[in-house]
Each structure stands twice: as C-alpha cells, then as structure tokens.
Chain A
C-alpha cells in the first residue's frame, strides 16, 4: 500500500516535470539586444552623428501645469531637414518621466508605459498624435522628444535628427531626486562597518567585562593584528568573509532593486557595470575565498593532528594581504570610477581608456589577492603533505581536508596564469606596454585564455571545499562512515585535474581555435562523471545511515538538491550550439548562482552550524537555525529558478534594464516583468533571512549552551580536542596518533598504488624494511 502511494506520487511528479519541460521552451527565443535608453543619451545617431538645429520640433497639446490623472492628446511634429518624400520621411521617440501614453492609431507604438515611438506605417508621416495620461503624483514631468527627418532614400546618409526637452509642471512642483546609488551603497557599507566595530568591541568586552578600557583594548587588538595562530587567523578570515558577504549582498540588493521593474532609473548602465563587477569580485574573492580559508585554517590542522600550519607567519601574511587588496578593489567606487569590467575583466576593454580609472586599482588589488592565494596554497599543501599525524596516510585523511588539498592544488597551480595576465594588464594601463593593444597586434583572446585557465579551476576551488563539508556533515548526521571514501577522493582529484582542460567552454562564442572548442566541449561533459559519483555516494550514505535532522543536516540536504539542479543546468553549456543561444543570458546567471549559492554558500552554512560549537565552545540555537534554513531555502529558489526561464527567452545579463512590449525586437514579454519583480522580492527576503544566522551566532556566543568536545558524534581528530581547542592545538612534543582507521582502508592498494608507494617511500625507510 505504502509503496503504491510512493509510485503514484513519483509518477505525478514525473508527469509534472515532463509537462514543464515541454512548456518551458515553447516561447519564441529572441536574440539579445540593447535597451532603448541609448537613444536618450546619444540620440538617433544612426541617422547622423550630431543633431541638426534646423530640424524644428513642435509638441502641441501639453498644458503648462497638468491635472493629476487627466488625459491629454499630444501631437508631435517637426519641420526642416531633408525634403519630405512621402515615404519614409520621418520618425520620432517620445519619453516621459511619468504618466502613461496610450496609442491612438497604427502610426505609433508603445515601447514602455511612458515611451512611444513610430511604427513602420508611421514612418511615412511627420506628425504623430498620442494620448498622455498624466500621473497622479502631481510632481513635474520631463519629456524628451527625438525626431528623425529622413529623405526616404532607404539609406541613413543625408538624414538629420534633433532632440527637444520640455517639462510640464505639476501642482506639487519638482519631483524628488532619485537616490544616488553610490550614496546608498556608501551609507550601507558604513553602517555595516559600524555594526562590525560595535560587535568587535562587544567581543572584547565579553572577554573580561571588568576592564573595558584602552590599556587593555590596545594589546588585545595588537594581539589580533599580529597573531600567527591558525585558529585566530581563521576567525579573522570569518570576520572578513562575512563582512564582505554582507557588502556583496548589499550590492546584489541594489541590482535587484534596479531590475525589479522594466525601465527603472535607479542605476544607470555605467553605474550598473561597476555594481555587478564589484558584486562578482566581492563575492568570489572577498567573501567565498576567505570563508573557505577560514574553515581551512580552523579545521585542517585539527583534523590532521597538527599543532599549527607549516608556515604560520606566511599564513598571517596571506590573510593580511586580503583586506588591503579589498581597499584597492573598492578604490574609486564611490566617485563613480570603480572597476566596470566584470569580474572577468575582459580585454581589450580592461586596457582601454574607455574603462573607468578605478580598473587599475582593481587590477592592483587582484594582484595582491593572487599573492595571498599562492601563499595560502603553498602553506596548506605543505601542511597536509608533511604534518599529518602518525598513522594518517593519504587515504585516512578526512574528506574535508582532502577537499581543501584538491582546492589548494588547483588554486595555486592555476592562479599564476591569472597573476601574469593581471600584471600584463597593470603594465598596459600604467606604463603602456602593448600586450592587449589590438592596434599593435595584441590578442585580447590571450587574456580570456589566461583568465579562464585560472577562472575555471577557481570556480571549482570554491565548490570543492563545500563537497568536503557536505561529506563530513552527511556522514556524521547519518551516523555512519561516508559511502565510497576512496571514490570520493578519486572523484575530487578527478575534478581537480579535469578543471584545467575544460576552461575553453567559457569562450565558445569568442572565436577561439575550433579544435580547442571541440576538445573542451567533450571534456566539459566529462565533469559530470566525478560530480555524479559524489552525488550518488552522498545519497548512498543517507540510504545506509539513520539520519539525525540537525540544522547542518538540513543545509546539507538542501545542498544536495540545489547543487544537483545547478549541475543539471550546467550540462546545457558544454554543447556549443546550446551555449551560443544561452551565452550572456540570465540562464548563465541562474546556473552559476545555483552552484555558487546553492553549492558553496549552503555548504558553508552547513559548516557554520556544524563547527561553530567547536570554534566557540557554544551551541547554536537549533530553532533559529531551522527558521533560517526554511526561509533562506525557499526564497533562494524563488530568486534563481525563474532566472532560467528569463534566460531562455533571451534576457541579457550585465544589462541594467529591460523593456516590455510584445512588438519590440529587443523587448521581453510582459510576464518577464512579473517574474523580475518576484525575483527581487525573493532576493530581499533571502538577504534578510541571513540576518537570522548573524543574530543566531551573536546570541549563541553569549547565551548558547556550553558545547561538549564532540556534540554531533563526529570521529575525526578535531572532535577529540576541547571546544574551543587550546593553543597550540596539539602539543608539539606529544602529537596525536591515528591508530585505527581501517574503515577507510579496507582495500589493499592496487598495482598502481603499490608502484606509487614504492616511489614515495623515502630511502631510509626502504632500507629498514630490507
């Protein structure tokens, strides 16, 4: 009986999914294009480079001062310019800052509620009539009229155009100025900084409430500034990562505010470029990477039984390079000259004088981040290779440590390519070398190659540690060891190697070598294999275990769903033809947010709930945690799921607005606006839901239950120290020994493994065995 219901339900779900799959692509696929606001700033410059003063525009029917919600019949006409030919003699575009136009005849069509232009039929006239329904708010309304005086020869030469601005007063006078996005951004960042400062001071106050004065604060701060202890540096990484996660979130919210409706005027295209550049850079380099490093710093030495990292001072250097790099990256933002190249910084725009001056500082900051990542990579690889506890071979390392190993290996082998590219760009922009100067024979595609040689491993660098976290969390929650430990390790190593030979799929539409395109198409499809192995291993772990639903378990289960969905949407891109259609649309945005937020961020939320007791010695509140999971999970899917559909119908990314009509070639259908509003609402809900986590962390730090050494029943080394662990984490003279780890090494090494062992055992060891 039970089984029957299950089958029925599955069938219904399958049918629903099939219907959805049939219905979704049933919309016309439209090529992407630019919005109509270009006309406002640069005019009808296809007809001639500059406006002609002799083209005289008349606008009749508008009052001096309008009455709210009244309808006016407006006539736009002009004289002058080339002689009227009767056919194709003129065109116009009328834009108003308020109210709505309604079309009266076939000569006029609506581009947006408050923008009209001529139709194909209207092209033959020099007078057009339209109705304007005045807004109800009573503020002044600006009108911008463009007209083309066309000679009718079918070509653009000999045509002229002009622009005319007028203002119709409202009963309440001029409207309120729209908020300046930079002021909003600066204010919010300053507020976040103040809150952070207060939190830090409160943290100091809690260390010893009796003495809250400068004499004690200064050495306390100096200790944090100079520390080389891996746990303290991990905490510093968390503070930085969470702060910039907030900043990146603020940027995202402002972007969503702009995109909530069509043709919004909050952020201009120029500012929008800066905003999405900073959002990407901040989230990847200043939020995700520090959070990874935070967990790596805290957990890896504990898991492998090392007292500290191999090079503690280098570790401190890797951290401190980051906040200073952040300062450089944000240089020029608030004066409107922030980097506007996208986080990919494509050449030749990045070296052109047209790019903002802040780009140079952005590049400088990135160079410092490259240095930081390289040092981190060296430090962690060395630590994991040399400082594992007695008895802990490679195949006994916990999976989180393995994931950090693979991530750092990828990172530090790939990031030199990015560093070299950045130095080339930096020199191009300062001392004017010519690496990407097309006139001198430079090849902009070289930048794409160098960037993506790093960039693709980089996106795996941020997801692989999440794999590690999920493996730990699921195994502990299912109260068993992870299913297929060895295949998990091999899958991660496979992902690490494949990452380097797939990067070409980011450049399918760039005109790169067709052979390379073909190779990377095949290798990209290959990525699904190791990732699939991991997913099925996790499922099998759940299947064989008995699950305990803690908050971190919920996040891990959420990760399984969202990451798999993100992976499936990713499988559309390796197909070159599919990629050509989906390239540069919101489908891409949906895909990488599904894997980066649904993968990385969910993984880290799981990790926070999982290791917070170990780090602070206090338990987090499970009720608040569950609330956080439910709100965040639902709203998160509300943000990114509809984006797939918007992408398929051709909504372009990196564009500050979009237009709604059924007629316009570049515009989207009307329901796209509804979905965008839905996405924006969900985005704000998601943003605010994360305050539950912040509140939970702060409240639990003060009032949380005392955590035992091993609150979840985990069995890796970190659970055997106290919560919080002492400094140094393990005694130098009495390091821990891994005695029984047979569950991970049930199998003898294979032939290749034996050969490898022989190579890797130092000579003196060999002599002993003889």
Chain B
C-alpha cells in the first residue's frame, strides 16, 4: 500500500504532529525490544547460579543504553502532545472516558495478577514451611525426649520472615516506616500536581511552578524510597549518641550484613541461642530470603519504573507543557503510582511487620 493517502511525512525519530491523528511511525518499539533482549541476554550470561562473570557487564550496559535510547525517541515524539488528540471512548460502558485512562486501568488489572502471583507464592511457602521460631522453640535435639529438635551445626530448613530482623527494633524498622510515609506523601503530591495542572483559572507561570514542584517532589520521594531500600538491604546506618533523648551510639546493620541473604544456608539469628548450653541453631532460609528480596524487589522495580516516567514528566512540567487540556496524562501516571502505593500497603505489613 505505497499509495495510501497519508500526506503526513512519517517521522519515526522526531516529534509527532499530534493534530494529524493518523498512525505515526516510530523506531522506539524496535529499539526497546532490542535493548530488552540484549539486557536479558547479558544478565543471563553475567550470572550463572551465583557465579559472577564481569566480562558480560558491558553487554548489560549496552542493552540498557539501547533501552534508554528508545525511551528518548518515545518521549521526543510525545513531548509535543498538547491534549489535542486524546481519543475518547465511544463504546458503552466506557463512553466519554479517555481511551488511555481505560487502558491504564486494564494495565493495572494485569499488575494485580502479577502481585497476586507473588503473594500466592508467599502464602504457599509461609504456610507450607515451618517457621524458624517454632523450630527453635521446640528445643535441642535429644533422641529420647525431643526427637524433632534442632542440632548444633546442622542447618534446619525453615521459614525465617525478614520481619524477625526488621521488626526487632524501632531502628531496624525505621527505613521501612519512613518509606511508607514517603510513598503516601508522594501519592499525595502526584494528586496535587494533577489538581493544579487541571485548575483552569491559574495563570501559566503559576501552574508551571506548582506542577513542576509537585512532580519534582514526587520524584525526590521516589528516589528517597529506593535509597532507603538500598540502605536497609545492603548498607546499614549509624545512630549517633544523643543522650538527652536517650539515644545511644550504635550501628544498625543491613539485612545482608546480618546474613539474611538468598544464599544463607547456615543463617543464624542472634536470638537463636540455647540459653542452657549456649548452642546456636543454624537455618537454611534461602527460600524465605528469596521471597523477601524478590517480592519487595518487584515492588522496588515498579518504583524505579515510576522514577523513569517521572523524570520525563518533571522535565515536561518544567518546560511548562502541562495545561488543563493534557493534564489527564498526569492522572494516568498517577493511577499507576497510587497502585504502587497500594501494593506497598500490602507488602509492608506482610513482609516488614508480620
């Protein structure tokens, strides 16, 4: 069909003319797929059952670079979007709603199933594998009196929830708790950004500033979330001596440094010591640790994805390109962002507290 009546020159690299309405060519999907494939290939080549092969790190970086390039094309085409072309639903029951809003909700349906799968995995293992605390309370092994007890040096396979470490003290819980507040606050800032972008009686500069600042603070809160997560997982932090509020100087050790890792087949919690004999109970907790890191990590990946989107949106807001006509774009992102918040509402109690 070389003779189609499309007078609009296709601009697969550059900004779209959104007034045209017809399909727009784009190189972005091609490069995005290519980049994802290269990254996954590199990732699989760089790690083999925990053996690290740094020679393939450049492959991963190349893949991410291609993905980044494709995102750049995508946004370059999108930044000219001023709300002129925003298809509205014609079919019942969605008549009158923006098509992309419906699409966002449909997308969230599949996201619900993603997290349901993760939570089903969690439930299956949490209920199917004995809790380490229960095993410890049964006491030490004795062939006559306690045949089901644990033995010094023999790893017990059991479920050790991360909350055993995290909820053991206020300080250990602090990063997670602050993160909860950060996410709720960022949900709120997104909604505020939407409200000011939509406000019709605001002058342009005031709108630009409000929207830009609210989106930027959302971005900062999201970055804070991931930073605290890294602190909690890998880094740990230091509590200074402030005597008048009763603080004592001590280090809060990260989860990984406490030995709570996906390879922990001889994990020992500091409370798993038999008081009478001084014997340690060691446990194989690889399954529970994998569950914790992958489930919270999947949520973290969603936050990271949100940060990538927010970066573009903050830039667009800084340029003052959000108007009441295209402010719904912020709402589409907001729906995703609130959903990530919702998931945290479930992840936080079940992985950090319980």
Q: Mark A residues whose CB is within 8 Å of B.
A: 207-208, 220, 222-223, 225-232, 304, 308, 310-313, 316-317, 319-321, 323-325, 327-328, 331, 353, 357, 360-361, 363-365, 367-368, 371, 374, 377-379, 381-382, 384-390, 392-394, 412-417, 419-421, 423-424, 426-427, 429-435, 437, 439-443, 446, 450, 724, 726-728, 732, 735, 759-762, 764-765
Q: How far is the CA of A432 from the CA of B290 in the complex (A)?
A: 9
Q: How far is the CA of A368 from the CA of B36 in the complex (A)?
A: 8
In the complex, which residues of chain B have a beta carbon less than 8 angstroms from the beta carbon of A437? 286-287
Look across to chain B and name the residue whose beta carbon is closest to the beta carbon of A357: B48
CB-based contact A317/B33 at 8 Å: yes
Q: How far is the CA of A403 from the CA of B210 in the complex (A)?
A: 47
Neighbour of B12 across the interface among A226, A357, A393, A760, CB < 8 A: A226
Residues from 69 to 97 in B contacting A, C-beta threshold 8 Å: 74, 87, 89-97
In the complex, which residues of chain B have a beta carbon less than 8 angstroms from the beta carbon of A229? 23
Given the known interface contacts A382-B103, A432-B263, A434-B286, the answer about A417 and B113 at a Cβ–Cβ threshold of 8 Å is yes
Q: How far is the CA of A363 from the CA of B43 in the complex (A)?
A: 12
Q: Is B242 an interface residue when CB atoms closer than 8 A count as contact? A: no
Look across to chain A and name the residue whose beta carbon is closest to the beta carbon of B118: A420
In the complex, which residues of chain B have a beta carbon less than 8 angstroms from the beta carbon of A208? 2
Q: How far is the CA of A208 from the CA of B1 in the complex (A)?
A: 11
Neighbour of A226 across the interface among B30, B265, B298, CB < 8 A: B30
In the complex, which residues of chain A have a beta carbon less than 8 angstroms from the beta carbon of B90? 386-390, 735
In the complex, which residues of chain A have a beta carbon less than 8 angstroms from the beta carbon of B100? 310-311
In the complex, which residues of chain B have a beta carbon less than 8 angstroms from the beta carbon of A392? 91
Q: How far is the CA of A385 from the CA of B100 in the complex (A)?
A: 12
CB-based contact B114/A443 at 8 Å: no
Q: Is B309 an interface residue when CB atoms closer than 8 A count as contact? A: no
Q: How far is the CA of A317 from the CA of B110 in the complex (A)?
A: 17
CB-based contact A416/B22 at 8 Å: no
CB-based contact A227/B23 at 8 Å: yes
CB-based contact B262/A421 at 8 Å: no
Residues from 1 to 48 in B contacting A, C-beta threshold 8 Å: 1-2, 4-6, 10, 12, 21-30, 32-34, 36-37, 40-41, 43-44, 46-48
Name the interface size band of chain B: 35 or more
Q: How far is the CA of A317 from the CA of B40 in the complex (A)?
A: 17
Q: How far is the CA of A419 from the CA of B111 in the complex (A)?
A: 11
CB-based contact A386/B99 at 8 Å: yes
Q: How far is the CA of A226 from the CA of B22 in the complex (A)?
A: 14
CB-based contact B22/A727 at 8 Å: yes
Neighbour of B117 across the interface among A328, A393, A412, A420, CB < 8 A: A420
Question: Could you name 12 residue pairs across A and B whose Cβ atoms are closer than 8 Å?
Answer: A226-B26, A310-B87, A312-B23, A313-B28, A365-B40, A368-B33, A371-B36, A420-B121, A430-B46, A433-B293, A441-B129, A728-B22
Q: How many Å from the CB of B330 to the closest CB on chain A?
A: 18
In the complex, which residues of chain B have a beta carbon less than 8 angstroms from the beta carbon of A232? 1
Q: Mark B92-128, 1 if CB is under 8 A from A, else 0.
A: 1111110110110011011101101110010011001
In the complex, which residues of chain A have a beta carbon less than 8 angstroms from the beta carbon of B99? 310, 382, 386-387
CB-based contact A328/B92 at 8 Å: no
Q: Interface SS of chain A: helix, strand, loop or mixed?
A: helix
Look across to chain B and name the residue whose beta carbon is closest to the beta carbon of A386: B89
Neighbour of B4 across the interface among A222, A367, A443, A727, CB < 8 A: A727
Q: Mark B residues whose CB is within 8 Å of A.
A: 1-2, 4-6, 10, 12, 21-30, 32-34, 36-37, 40-41, 43-44, 46-50, 74, 87, 89-97, 99-100, 102-103, 106-107, 109-111, 113-114, 116-118, 121, 124-125, 128-129, 157-159, 262-263, 265, 284, 286-287, 289-291, 293-294, 298
Q: How many Å from the CB of A429 to the closest CB on chain B?
A: 7
Q: How far is the CA of A227 from the CA of B21 in the complex (A)?
A: 14
Q: How far is the CA of A223 from the CA of B12 in the complex (A)?
A: 8
Q: How many Å from the CB of A379 to the closest CB on chain B?
A: 7
CB-based contact A433/B110 at 8 Å: no
CB-based contact B50/A423 at 8 Å: no
Neighbour of B97 across the interface among A324, A365, A386, A435, CB < 8 A: A386
Q: How far is the CA of A417 from the CA of B275 in the complex (A)?
A: 45
Q: How far is the CA of A367 from the CA of B36 in the complex (A)?
A: 10
Look across to chain A and name the residue whose beta carbon is closest to the beta carbon of B40: A364
CB-based contact B4/A319 at 8 Å: no
Q: How far is the CA of A313 from the CA of B21 in the complex (A)?
A: 13
Look across to chain B and name the residue whose beta carbon is closest to the beta carbon of A765: B95
Q: How many Å from the CB of B189 to the closest CB on chain A?
A: 27
Q: How far is the CA of A764 from the CA of B94 in the complex (A)?
A: 12
In the complex, which residues of chain A have a beta carbon less than 8 angstroms from the beta carbon of B37? 324-325, 327-328, 364-365, 368
Q: How far is the CA of A759 from the CA of B93 in the complex (A)?
A: 9
Look across to chain B and name the residue whose beta carbon is closest to the beta carbon of A450: B117
